[in-house]
Amino acid sequence: MIILKIAVIPGDGIGREVIPEGIRVLEQAGKIHGIEFHWTHFNWSCETYHQTGYMMPADAIEQLRAFDAIYLGAVGFPGVPDHISLWGLLIPIRREFDQYINLRPVRLFEGVPCPLAGKKPGDIDMIVVRENVEGEYSNIGGIQYAGTEHEIVIQQSLLTRRGIDRVFKYAFELAQTRAAKHVSSATKSNGIIHTMPFWDKRFAEMGKEYPAIKTDQYHIDIMTANFVLKPEHYDVVVGSNLFGDILSDLGPAITGTIAIAPSANINPEKNFPSMFEPVHGSAPDIAGQNIANPIGAVWAGAMMLQHLGHHQAYNTIMAAIEEVLSESRNLTCDMGGQASTQELGRAVARAII
Ligand code: GGG
Compute the distance from residue 80 Cα to the ligand 1 centre, in Å: 14
Q: Is position 110 within any domain?
A: no
Given a cut of 90, is residue 179 above it in pLDDT? yes
213 plus 150 within the same structural domain: yes
Percentage of the residues of the chain whose pLDDT score is greater than 90: 97
Which pLDDT tens digit goes with each residue over 134-171? Answer: 999 999 999 999 999 999 999 999 999 999 999 999 99
Cα Rg of the chain, angstroms? 20
pLDDT band at 333; cut points 50, 70, 90: very high
Are 226 and 301 in a shared domain? no
What separation in angstroms does the CA of 332 have from each of 47, 240, 337?
A: 26, 32, 5
**118 part of a folded domain:** no
pLDDT band at 287 (very low <50, low <70, confident <90, very high): very high
Going from the Cα of 263 to the center of ligand 1, the distance in angstroms, rounded, reads 9
Burial 208-233 (b: 16+ CB within 10 A, else e): eebeebebebbbbeebbeebeeebeb
pLDDT at 353 over 90: no
Distance 129 CA to ligand 1 centre (A): 15
pLDDT at 194: 97
Query: Can you tell me which atom of ligand 1 is nearest the CA of 91?
Result: 13
Pair type for strands 262-266 and 35-41: unpaired
Q: For residues 132 and 235, state if they share a domain.
A: yes
One domain for residues 262 and 229: no
Q: Which of 101, 108, 100 is nearest to 126 (CA)?
A: 108
Do 269 and 245 fall within a single domain?
no
Q: Which residue is closest in CA terms to ligand 1's atom 7?
A: 281
The answer as to whether 61 is a domain residue is yes
Nearest to 184 by CA among 126, 230, 131: 126
The count of domains in the chain is 2
Among candidate residues 223, 254, 285, the one where a domain is terminated: 254
Q: Report if residue 92 sits inside a domain.
A: yes
From ligand 1's centre to the CA of 2, what distance in Å?
Answer: 30
Is the residue at 168 inside a domain?
Answer: yes
Asked, for residue 156, whether it belongs to a domain, the answer is yes
- Domain harbouring 50, CATH code: 3.40.718.10
Residues 215 and 166 in one domain: yes
The residue whose C-alpha atom lies closest to atom 1 belonging to ligand 1 is 74
In this prediction, residues 207-224 reach a mean pLDDT of 98
Threshold 0.90, pTM exceeds? yes
How remote is the CA of residue 33 from the centroid of ligand 1, in Å? 31
Q: What is the pLDDT of residues 22-50, one digit of tens each?
A: 999 999 999 999 999 999 999 999 999 99
Instruction: Say if residue 129 is in the same domain as residue 97.
Output: no
What range defines the domain where residue 43 resides? 1-101+258-353
Q: Residues 143, 195: one domain?
A: yes
pLDDT at 82: 87
Calculated CA dihedral for residues 236, 241, 243, 244, nearest 10 degrees: 30
Ligand 1 centroid to Cα of residue 211, in Å, is 35
Q: What is the percent of the chain where pLDDT is above 70? A: 100
In the listed set 231, 254, 277, which residue is the last one of a domain according to the structure?
Answer: 254
Statement to judge: residues 132 and 242 lie in one domain? yes
Pocket mutation for ligand 1, best pick of 12, 90, 100 (most atoms within 8 Å of C-beta): 90
Best residue for ligand 1 mutational test, from 279, 293, 304 (most atoms within 8 Å of Cβ) = 279
Whether 299 and 207 map to the same domain: the answer is no
Ligand 1 atom nearest the C-alpha of 279 is 1
Q: Does the pLDDT at position 71 exceed 90?
A: yes
222 and 331 in a single domain? The answer is: no
Per the prediction, the chain carries an average pLDDT of 97
Closest CA to 206 of 247, 237, 164: 164
The answer to whether residue 209 scores a pLDDT higher than 90 is: yes
Ranges of H-type helices in the chain: 15-33, 46-52, 60-64, 82-85, 91-96, 161-176, 195-208, 220-229, 241-254, 295-307, 311-327, 341-350
The rounded distance, in Å, linking the Cα atoms of 238 and 128 is: 6
pLDDT tens per residue across span 244-280: 999 999 999 999 999 999 999 999 999 999 999 999 9
Across the range 71-81, mean pLDDT stands at: 94
The domain boundary, picked from 232, 254, 276, lies at 254
76 CA distance to ligand 1 middle (Å): 9
The answer to whether residue 109 is domain-embedded is no
- Ligand 1 atom closest to Cα of 281? 4
Distance from Cα 34 to the centre of ligand 1, integer Å: 32
Same domain, yes or no: 245 and 268: no
Residues with CB under 6 A from ligand 1: 72, 74-76, 86, 245, 277-278, 280-282
In a domain? residue 119: no
